[in-house]
Amino acid sequence: MVNESYRLGCDIGGTFTDFVLVNDETGEFLTHKCLTTPSDPSEAVETGISHLLDHHPGFMPRIGEIIHGTTLVINAIIERKGARTGLVTTKGFRDVLELGREIRYDAYDIFSEYPEPLVPRFLRKEVNERIASDGRVIREPDPGEVKKVLAELSELGVESLGVCLINSYENPVHEMKIKEIAEKEFPGLSLSVSYEVLPQIREYERTSTTVTNAYVKPITGRYLRKLSSCLGSLGFKGRLFIMLSSGGITSVDTARRFPVRIIESGPTAAVIASRHYGRMFQIRDIFCFDMGGTTAKSCLIQKGEAGLVSTFEVGRVQRFKKGSGLPIQVPVVDLMEIGAGGGSIARISKMGLLQVGPESAGADPGPVCYARGGAEPTVTDADLVLGYLDQDYFLGGTMSLDKDASQQAIAKKIAEPLGTSLTAAAFGIHDLINETMAAAAKTHIAEKGGNPNIVTVTAFGGAGPVHAYGLAKKIGAPRILVPRLAGVGSALGFFTAPVAFDMSRSHRVALNDADFENIERIFESLEQESEAILRDAAKGKSLCYERTLSMRFVGQGAETDLSIERKPFSQWKKEEIRNLFDESYRKLYGRTYPETPAEFVTFKLRASLPERPFHIPLLKKKTGELKDCIKGQRMAFSVIRKDFIPFTVYERSRLFSGAVLKGPAIIEEKESTIVIGEDACAKVDEYGFVQIDLT
C-alpha cells in the first residue's frame, strides 16, 4: 500500500503561482512561489513542482491529493480567449443576451457600455418549441429543424454549444432531445445544457451562465487533461481536486463538466482559510483581505461563517459598477473586489490626476522592478521605493528587484507630470490604493450589517501583509492577524476546504398551494444527483446534506434564502415555513408582511463530505532573545510622520512564541512582508501567527 502522507496545494494567480506541500504525519510545510505563465498555466505548475522536488526529492508518489485553484476560466472570459460557441434557444428569444434585464447600471451615463455577449448574434439559432411555465408541453421541437440548426452552426465552425430553452427548468424534455440529436449527429461537439448547468428561473441569467460554461468548457478540458498528464509524468498517482467558487473542492471530471463553477476558485480559498483560523482563535467577525499581484479581494466573515451568493459578475466594463458585467448564477463565496494588486499600473489620468489600476502588469512583463521589460510604474514599485520591500530579499532572495528602475519610472511617469517629489509620488500610489480599498471595504462591511471597528483583518497574498496596516488604520479596525505562510494563503487554504457540491432546482409554487410530497421528491433527486457527482471523491464515505429554501412574497423580484433542517419535507407544516420566512425577512429588512402570500421559487442543496482534519503545527520552541531575530534596520516611509524613519527588520522564521514587537517594524519571510507602523504592537502566538494591535 502506498504511503499517502503528503498533500499539495497549488494556486495559479494572475502574477504568481503558489505551492504549499504539507506532510500530514509531521505537520511540516514546504512552500514555493514562481511567476505565472499566462500562455500556458500548466508550465508554471510543472516548474514549481520541479523546484520542490529539487529541494525535497521523492514526495510525488507519496502525495494522496493535489488541490488546485486556477484563474484560467475567468481570464479566458475577460480576455475573450474561449472556444467559438453557439447557442440554441427557443424561437423569439435569440436576443436575450443583449436585452438582459433592460436596466442601466449607471442611470446618468448616456455613454455607458455593456460587455459584448460571448456568443455573437449570427451564432445564435432558434428552434420552434415551447414549454409552459408550469412544465406543460405546448409545442414539440421538429427533429429535422434541430438537425438543420446544428448543421448550420457546425458549418460556421462552432466548437462548443449551449442549449437554453425557455422554462426548461420545469421540464427539460426538449433540451434532452436536442442533446441526444447533437451527440448522435455531431459527436465531437462540446455541449452545455441549461438544465444540467443551471435549472433555475430567469432566462437571462440562465442563458448567460450556460453560454459561459460552454465558452470555457473546451479550453478547461484541454488544460485539465494536460495538467493531469503533466502531474502523472512527475510521478503523481493520487487524486486531483479542483477548488470551486462556492468554497468546496470537487473532482476533475466535475470541473470539466461545469467549469463555470471554478471561476473564483483561487480567492475563495483565502476566505475558507480565514474562516478556519477564526474558529481556531474564536474570532467572530473577520475581514478577509487577500491582495495579490493583480487584484485585491475581500469577504466579511460574521459569526464564523462566510456568506454565499447565487449571482455574481465577470468581465465588467466598469470594474466597480454592478450591472456592467456578464451575470453568472452559480453559488459563490460572497467576495468583493476592493482594489488593485501589486502589479497594478499607476498613471496620470486624462484629468491630470493620479490613477492606480485597473490595468495590471501581471506576470509578463510585470512591474518595472522585475526587470522583465515592464515600463509602467506599479504598486510594487512604489512599495519598493518606500522601503517596505527589500530589493535583495524578494521571494526569500530568489528574485532580485531593480530599485533604481522603479525610482526612474515613478519619477518620469508620475512625479514629473504632477510636479512633486519622488517620495511624494511613491507614497501617493501606495496611499491611493489603500484609500480606494478602504472606501470599498467600508461599503462592503456596511452592506453586510457589520462594524469595521470590531473586525479583525486577516491578511493574505504577497501584497496583503504590506498594505494591511494602512488599510486597517483607514477603516478603523483594531487588530490584524497575519497567518503563517500568508503569501501563499490561498494554496494553504485549500486544505481547509471540504469536498462539496451545490445543487439547485427552481419550481415556483405558492406556499399555500404547494405539494410538500413533491418538494421532498425534488430534494431527493438533488441528493441523488449530487451523490453521483461526488461518488468518486467520496470513496464510499457518507455525504452530509444541507437544504435551503429560496422564497419571496408573491409578486416580488428577489428571493430570501432559508436554511432548514434535513427531514422529510412532508413533516413540515406550512405555518412553520411561513414563520421561518417572516423571521428571516424581518431580520434582513426590519419588517415583514404577514397578510401577503409567499411562494417557493428555488430549492437548493449542498452535499459535502465531513470536514477533513487540518492542523497548523505549533511553533517550535526556540531559545534566545528578540534581538536574535533582528536582521537589521531599513529606512522606510512612515504614514504618520510622512517621512522616512528607521524600521527594525525581523526574520519571521526566527520569531518565537510570545515574542512582542513594537513598531515601526518590518517582518520578512519568503512569501511576503509585514509592515507594522510605529503606533502598532505585534505579538507572535504559539502557532506563529502575528497578531497586530493598533492603538
147 and 207 assigned to the same domain: yes
Does the pLDDT at position 466 exceed 60? yes
Taking only the tens place, the pLDDT of each residue in 183-192 is: 999 999 999 9
Which residue(s) pair with 10 in the sheet? 19, 68
160 and 200 assigned to the same domain: yes
From the list 660, 565, 554, 546, the residue with the least C-alpha distance to 610 is 546
Q: Which of 579, 608, 637 is the last residue of a domain?
A: 608
Q: Does residue 350 lie within any of the structural domains? A: no
Residues with Cβ within 8 Å of 131's Cβ and at least 6 positions away in sequence, in order, are 137, 138, 165, 166, 167, 168, 170, 171, 173, 174
Does the pLDDT at position 98 exceed 70? yes
Q: Does residue 594 lie within any of the structural domains? A: yes
Cis before 365 (ω within 30): yes
What is the rounded distance in angstroms from the CA atom of residue 267 to the CA atom of residue 343?
17
100 and 161 assigned to the same domain: yes
107 and 55 assigned to the same domain: no
How is residue 141 written as a grid cell? 421541437
Q: Does residue 684 lie within any of the structural domains? A: yes
Q: Residue 493: what pLDDT? A: 84
Q: Which of 213, 246, 262 is the last residue of a domain?
A: 262
Q: Does residue 241 lie within any of the structural domains? A: yes
C-alpha Rg value of the chain to the nearest Å: 26
Q: Which of 262, 295, 314 is the last residue of a domain?
A: 262
Which residue(s) pair with 143 in the sheet? none
What is the rounded distance in angstroms from the CA atom of residue 688 to the CA atom of residue 658?
9
What is the rounded distance in angstroms from the CA atom of residue 429 to the CA atom of residue 410?
9
525 and 597 assigned to the same domain: yes
Does the pLDDT at position 88 exceed 60? yes
CATH number, domain containing residue 122: 3.40.50
Q: Does residue 320 lie within any of the structural domains? A: no
What is the rounded distance in angstroms from the CA atom of residue 355 to the CA atom of residue 360?
12
Specify the residue for cell string 511553533. Answer: 619
Q: Residue 43: what pLDDT? A: 87
95 and 178 assigned to the same domain: yes
More confident residue, 327 or 357: 327
589 and 664 assigned to the same domain: no
202 and 83 assigned to the same domain: yes
Q: Does residue 539 lie within any of the structural domains? A: yes
Does the pLDDT at position 661 exceed 80? yes
- For the purposes of burial, counting CB atoms within 10 Å of the CB of 479, is it exposed (0-12), middle (13-18) or buried (19 or more)? middle
From the list 73, 457, 534, the residue with the least C-alpha distance to 270 is 457
Sign of CA dihedral 313, 319, 320, 322: negative
Sign of CA dihedral 39, 231, 491, 265: positive
Which segments of 247-312 does DSSP mark as H helices, in order? 252-257, 265-281
Taking only the tens place, the pLDDT of each residue in 366-395 is: 899 988 888 899 999 999 999 999 998 887
Across 5-14, 314-323, 370-379, least confident range:
314-323
From the list 408, 268, 373, the residue with the least C-alpha distance to 331 is 268
Q: Residue 4: what pLDDT? A: 65
Q: Does residue 118 lie within any of the structural domains? A: yes
215 and 253 assigned to the same domain: no
**For residues 210 and 193, is the Cβ–Cβ distance under 8 A?**
yes
Specify the residue for cell string 489620468. Answer: 349
Residues with Cβ within 8 Å of 48's Cβ and at least 6 positions away in sequence, in order, are 10, 17, 19, 32, 33, 34
Q: Residue 559: what pLDDT? A: 92
Taking only the tens place, the pLDDT of each residue in 16-37 is: 888 999 887 777 888 888 888 8
β-strand pairing of 544-553 with 560-564: antiparallel
**For residues 675 and 668, is the Cβ–Cβ distance under 8 A?**
no
Q: Residue 320: what pLDDT? A: 65
What is the rounded distance in angstroms from the CA atom of residue 43 to the CA atom of residue 605?
37
Domain total of the chain: 4
Sign of CA dihedral 586, 591, 593, 594: positive
Does the pLDDT at position 3 exceed 60? no
Residue range of the domain that includes 253 = 6-74+237-262
Q: Residue 2: what pLDDT? A: 46
Taking only the tens place, the pLDDT of each residue in 214-256 is: 999 999 999 999 999 989 988 898 889 999 988 888 889 999 9
Q: Does residue 176 lie within any of the structural domains? A: yes
| Side-chain half-sphere CA neighbours of 208 within 13 A | 26
515 and 583 assigned to the same domain: yes
What is the rounded distance in angstroms from the CA atom of residue 431 to the CA atom of residue 416?
18
Does the pLDDT at position 527 exceed 70? yes
93 and 210 assigned to the same domain: yes
Q: Give the whole-number percent of the chain exceeding pLDDT 70.
A: 98
105 and 23 assigned to the same domain: no
pTM score, two decimals?
0.85
CATH number, domain containing residue 44: 3.30.420.40
Phi, psi at residue 239, to the nearest 5°?
-105, 140
**For residues 303 and 284, is the Cβ–Cβ distance under 8 A?**
yes
What is the rounded distance in angstroms from the CA atom of residue 319 to the CA atom of residue 340?
10
